[in-house]
């Protein structure tokens, strides 16, 4: 019979990696909590309209990458391609702005984009997403960026490059868009069909085009930073000065526009040289008009998302990440097996990891299993040791062995494991 495999671009997270995921999640929760962020969990599916209205109808995500289908009652639903829209929907729906002026939220979970799979790019991937509502001052931009860099660093990443830009606001961006349209029209016939279409539909999206010929043209396009109004310019220069105060180094990349339409003012990306082509480990920015565009109050917002798989891929390989067993019980013979079964489960109940071999194989085979399970100690006994009320405890690393009285064995073993 044919094997059924996972869907292309959807991948299993195997136990060794799953462990890394929860270790990083643990760090994320601790860091975000210390900056005042609380966790929210939203559904992985939303009404399609939510993403069209927030991410933008003419973005790659909405045009080409969403998993959208008609539900049985013909309502269009979409597997979320990102978390910002869902978090905002929940923020509005639960009237969170009434509670407090500033709301800080984070969420961790799977996102879905039908992109071409390659190293670091999947169709189901996980994001660690952070959103801050109700504060427009540059301090909140710097706080968010500082927290992101701190989180990535203590998770174990190095050689990170932070790029920032300002994307302006409704007051100044239209003049930039006009200048870009004018510029692109001058080279229209040399652009790829997608970019030609983008000139009128969404000119800023040409900055994301991966076609080489387009890249060469766009290199000479006008720069957003030359078009900022005084409010945006002021904001951007304060963000830079605050980042300097926090010793957070950055480069300004005036070509960075981000792949989603909702950004205003500050935008940022974190790149690493450990990932190959898919080098963005995180991205985010300010979105001051989005909450109201989605039917909520006039509340500014800023946030970012970290690509969880990309973060994990950047971590150095570590032996200490291997799964460990505290104790393996090598029980030889029926009586020993029965006693070992009780002891194994008692230990587990006390919070220690314990394993045994129900197959009652040879001592050599059982010690091999203990090694495979990376166990710190192995307790060895057969019927003879039970009669003599003495069992053997082997330290699997040093290979030292000691006898331990059977009376009070559970307490004795726990003591030894704890002292290790």
Binding positions for ligand HAM, rule: CB under 6 A: 82-84, 113, 115, 121-122, 125, 127, 129, 131, 259-260, 280-285, 303-305, 307, 309-310
CA gap 273, 79 in Å, rounded: 30
Q: How far is the CB of 350 from ligand HAM (least distance, A)?
A: 40
For residues 115 and 318, what is the distance between their CA atoms, to the nearest angstrom?
Answer: 31
User: What is the rounded distance in angstroms from the CA atom of residue 213 to the CA atom of residue 188?
Assistant: 12
265 vs 369, beta carbon nearer ligand HAM: 265
Least separation in angstroms between residue 73's CB and ligand HAM is: 29
CB nearer to ligand HAM: pick between 134 and 285: 285
Minimum CB separation from ligand HAM for residue 114, in Å? 9
Q: Smaller CB distance to ligand HAM: residue 62 or 379?
A: 62
* Beta carbons of 287 and 105 less than 8 angstroms apart: no
The string of DSSP codes covering 222-291 is --GGGT--HHHHHHHHHHHHHHHHTT---EE-TT---SSTT-EEEEEEEEETTSTT--EEEEEEE-TTHH
49: which 2 tokens? 């309209």
Residue 169 or 416: the one with the smaller Cβ distance to ligand HAM is 169
Q: Tell me 63's DSSP state.
A: I
Pick 84 or 97: Cβ nearer ligand HAM? 84
Phi, psi of 165 (to 5 degrees): -155, 170
- Of 239, 245, 260, whose CA–CA distance to 85 is shortest? 260
- At 313 the three-state DSSP class reads helix
Q: Which is nearer to ligand HAM, 206 or 370 (CB)?
A: 206
Of 59 and 344, CB closest to ligand HAM: 59
The DSSP call for residue 6 is P
List phi, psi (to 5°) of 191: -85, 155
- Return the number of the residue (256 or 380) whose C-beta is nearest ligand HAM: 256
Q: Which two structure tokens, joined as six digits, stand for 176?
A: 């930039």
Please identify the residue of the shown chain whose CB is closest to the bound ligand HAM: 307
4/277 with CB nearer ligand HAM: 277
Q: Are 293 and 53 in contact (CB under 8 A)?
A: yes
Closest CA to 107 of 286, 283, 303, 255: 303
Q: What one-character-per-residue DSSP string does 142-210 give?
A: HHHHHHHHHHHHHHT--SEEEEEEE---TTTHHHHHHHHHHHHHTTGGGS-HHHHHHHHH-GGGGGG--
Give dist(CA 118, CA 11) in Å, integer. 12
């Amino acid at each position: 019979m044919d094997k059924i495999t996972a869907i292309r671009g959807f991948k299993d997270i195997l136990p060794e990696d799953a462990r890394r995921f929860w270790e990083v999640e643990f760090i994320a929760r601790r860091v975000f909590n210390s900056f005042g962020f609380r966790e929210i969990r939203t559904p992985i599916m939303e009404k399609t309209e939510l993403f069209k209205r927030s991410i933008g109808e003419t973005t790659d995500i909405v045009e080409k990458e969403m998993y959208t289908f008609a539900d049985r009652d013909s309502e269009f639903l979409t597997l979320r391609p990102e978390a910002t829209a869902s978090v905002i929907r929940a923020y509005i729906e639960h009237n969170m702005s009434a509670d407090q002026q500033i709301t800080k939220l984070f969420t961790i979970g799977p996102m879905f984009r039908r992109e071409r799979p390659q190293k670091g790019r999947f169709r189901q991937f996980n994001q660690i997403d952070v959103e801050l509502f109700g504060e427009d001052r540059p301090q909140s931009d710097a706080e968010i960026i500082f927290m992101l860099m701190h989180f990535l660093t203590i998770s174990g990443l190095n050689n990170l490059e932070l790029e920032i830009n300002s994307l302006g606001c409704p007051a100044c961006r239209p003049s930039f868009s006009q200048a870009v349209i004018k510029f692109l029209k001058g080279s229209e016939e040399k652009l790829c069909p997608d970019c030609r279409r983008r000139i009128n539909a969404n000119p800023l999206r040409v900055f994301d085009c991966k076609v080489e010929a387009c890249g060469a043209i766009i290199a000479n396009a006008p720069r957003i930073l030359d078009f900022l109004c005084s409010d945006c310019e002021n904001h951007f220069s304060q963000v830079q000065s605050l980042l300097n105060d926090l010793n957070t180094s950055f480069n300004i990349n005036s070509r960075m526009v981000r792949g989603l339409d909702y950004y205003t003012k500050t935008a940022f990306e974190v790149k690493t040289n450990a990932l190959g082509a898919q080098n963005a480990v995180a991205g985010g920015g300010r979105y001051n008009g989005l909450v109201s565009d989605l039917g909520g109050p006039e509340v500014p917002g800023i946030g970012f998302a970290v690509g969880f798989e990309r973060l994990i891929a950047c971590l150095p390989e570590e032996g200490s990440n291997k799964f460990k067993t505290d104790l393996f019980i090598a029980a030889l013979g029926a009586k020993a097996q029965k006693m070992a079964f009780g002891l194994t489960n008692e230990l587990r109940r006390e919070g220690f990891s314990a394993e045994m071999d129900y197959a009652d194989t040879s001592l050599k085979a059982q010690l091999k299993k203990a090694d495979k399970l990376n166990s710190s100690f192995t307790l060895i006994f057969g019927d003879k040791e039970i009669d003599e009320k003495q069992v053997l405890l082997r330290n699997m690393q040093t290979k030292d062995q000691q006898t331990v009285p059977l009376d009070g064995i559970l307490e004795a073993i726990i003591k030894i494991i704890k002292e290790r």
